[in-house]
Chain A
Amino acid sequence: MKAIFHTGLRSTLGDKLGAVPWCLVPFGGKPLLEYWLEWATVLGVDDVRLVLGDGAFEVESFCGDGSRWGLKITYGFLKDGVPPESYVRRLSTTWEEGLLYICGPVFPQRLAAETGLINPKVLERATWFTHDKGQVCCLLSTHQQDIQTFIKGTLPAVQTNWSDLGLEPLLISDLKAYYDVNMRLVKGENRRYVSQGYGGRDGTSIGYNVQIPPSVELIPPLTIGNDCRFHSIAVIGPNAVIGNHVIVDRQTELADSIVLDGTYLGRNLEIKHKIVAGTKIISPEDDIIVEIAEPWLVATLEAPVRFSDGIRLVIGWLLAVLLTLVQALPFVLLYPWIHLSGGGLYRLSARLGRKERVVQLPEWTILAPASLKVRLFVGLGLDLFPLLVRAACGHLWLCGHVPLHPERDQALRKRLHRYYPAAIIYPAQQQTAYSDPAIEMANALYYERYASLLEDCRTVSRTFTRRLMSALSE
């Protein structure tokens, strides 16, 4: 049997929680995607195809090649707006052994604690599916005709009852449903799945590297992820689901709540019946989201710097300093001449720099494109000099994303899980400023996915080579 999981579609769950790609949002302390992969293992699936989109890097980093689950995982992409089932159509694979298809935030809820492989006879020539407004969000089928019907974009005529499989997929359409599933899991249903931490019989599950001083009161049932810190006199539980990398400060009470990964809860707070995702406090009952901008109340813990990012940052900075030194003299000689003769000038514009700080960045504007000195100036990449100085000062990366406008580009910023505002960007390579938001989005997502030292070196060398070639050819 083969499986196709769509993780790249937009979902209200991901948009509202915002911290991680929605398929990695934890349920009972474990990412949703892990439940899918475990289900695939139980069904005897050997080949999983993950269709990526937003947060592709995080998803791929989490799953790897699938060997953790005994699966072979391969990855693919689907363009925005294309029907998800068309991905199945485009694959040349045959579906003789069956297909498991999940598209959207579907939680495969087990009806009992059954962990063995499913008897193949139960699966013979049968089809199960769940749909939302005619759109299949979960399908399991070993019936060739039904699979072909589904691939053509219509619902199979007959479906078997999910309970025959001891499982029922739940579509998590809103935060209330998400909260309810988590509460059911922490109250005991998580025993039906592979445990995500060390636990006792009292419904406590605690991950590794968790610091709990003696004065902290733990009231089961509760689930605590890895690398968490609790400060003195905190009261945790009952019914608390705490993700990884969470800090709870002293005297804070937490009950009937979910705290997502990388969250800091300040001192002397009372969190009850809430979802806390970084700086967001969500009341699932009435779907109210409050963004708290005060880091002493709640805050997002800074993601640890990835090793590859650290290397890129250091080498990028050295390169930026070198380029600044090389360009300093020609810039000082050429720019005043160009500026005084009306060839071009810099205009300051507010942009989001490193660490999300708003900085004023100079934007080069050409006023006389035909001028020889302007062509030479741009050809040598001297228009980038002020930005390279900012990179050398540590305000920007050397290569990466277009520095985004703090207000105008909010939508794009929200889609990026890692943001690298930089001096040298893809459009700079081509000497054009893209006005098409779709291209800007594609560039930004591409860089987020493929950011590496090699990619940076390639971008720098192409930028300066192409500029020079272009200036010479004119």
Chain B
Amino acid sequence: MNVQFSITEQGVGIVKIDGGLNASNVDDFREPCFLWLAEHEAINLFVLDLGAVDFIDSAGLGVLVELLKRVSERGGDVRLANLQKQARIVFEITRAYKIFAIFDSVEMAIQAES
């Protein structure tokens, strides 16, 4: 799994994940992501680009919920973009779509009002 971090001109943190997000590689995402989160305390809005994530299991969902919780605690928000069909089904059946704001593209996620 490959994770890329970037910050837009508007000061939005973009996290792009490439590959499946499951129990076998969830730590490869959690550690760098939370480290990066701690290093950028000023950023309150994070957009997760899941366009290249073909599958998410409950461990993957768990880390996304954990990320949302940490960001919410400091008054921020986590938005998901480009959710693929396979991953979307997991979000649907587990009701995870009710706690995340999900957008069709990264641009829409950035521009949406809070």
Instruction: Please list the residues of chain A having a beta carbon within 8 angstroms of any beta carbon in chain B.
Output: 268-272, 274, 281, 283, 286, 288, 290, 292-294, 296-298
Contact = CB atoms under 8 A, between A and B. Distances in A.
Interface string B49-72: 000000101100000000000000
Contacts of A268: 94-95
B22 to A, nearest CB: 9
A297 B94 contact: yes
Contact of B85 (A269, A271, A272, A288): A288
B90 A269 contact: no
A272 B92 contact: yes
A281 B89 contact: yes
Interface of B is mostly: helix
A274 B85 CA distance: 13
18 contacts: A269-B94, A270-B92, A270-B93, A270-B94, A271-B93, A272-B92, A274-B92, A274-B93, A281-B89, A281-B93, A286-B85, A288-B85, A290-B55, A290-B89, A294-B57, A296-B58, A297-B58, A298-B93
- Nearest 8 A/B pairs, CB to CB: A290-B89, A288-B85, A270-B95, A269-B93, A290-B86, A294-B58, A281-B89, A271-B93
A288 B89 CA distance: 9
Nearest to B22: A293
Contacts of A269: 93-95
Given A270-B94, A274-B93, 6 more contacts: A270-B92, A270-B95, A272-B92, A290-B90, A294-B57, A297-B58
Interface residues of B, number: 11
Contacts of B55: 290
A103 to B, nearest CB: 33
Nearest to B94: A269
Nearest to B85: A288
Nearest to A286: B85
B100 to A, nearest CB: 14
Contacts of A283: 85, 89
Contacts of A270: 92-95
B34 to A, nearest CB: 24
Contacts of B94: 268-270, 297
A368 B9 CA distance: 74
Interface of B: 55, 57-58, 85-86, 89-90, 92-95
Contacts of A274: 89, 92-93
Contacts of B85: 283, 286, 288
B93 A297 contact: yes
Nearest to B98: A270
Nearest to A287: B85
Contacts of A271: 93
A208 to B, nearest CB: 29
Contacts of A272: 92
Contacts of B95: 268-270
Contacts of B89: 274, 281, 283, 288, 290
A297 B55 CA distance: 15
Nearest to B93: A269
A290 B92 CA distance: 12
A283 B93 CA distance: 11
Nearest to A251: B95
Nearest to B96: A270
A26 B32 CA distance: 48
Contacts of B92: 270, 272, 274
Nearest to A273: B92
A269 B94 CA distance: 5
A281 B90 CA distance: 9
A286 B86 CA distance: 11
B20 to A, nearest CB: 11
A62 to B, nearest CB: 31
Contacts of A293: 57
Given A270-B92, A270-B93, A288 B86 contact: yes
A274 B89 CA distance: 9
B50 to A, nearest CB: 15
A363 to B, nearest CB: 29
Contacts of B86: 288, 290
Contacts of A294: 57-58
Nearest to B86: A290
A401 B92 CA distance: 40
Contacts of B93: 269-271, 274, 281, 297-298
Contacts of B57: 292-294
A296 B23 CA distance: 14
A409 B95 CA distance: 36
Contacts of B90: 290, 292
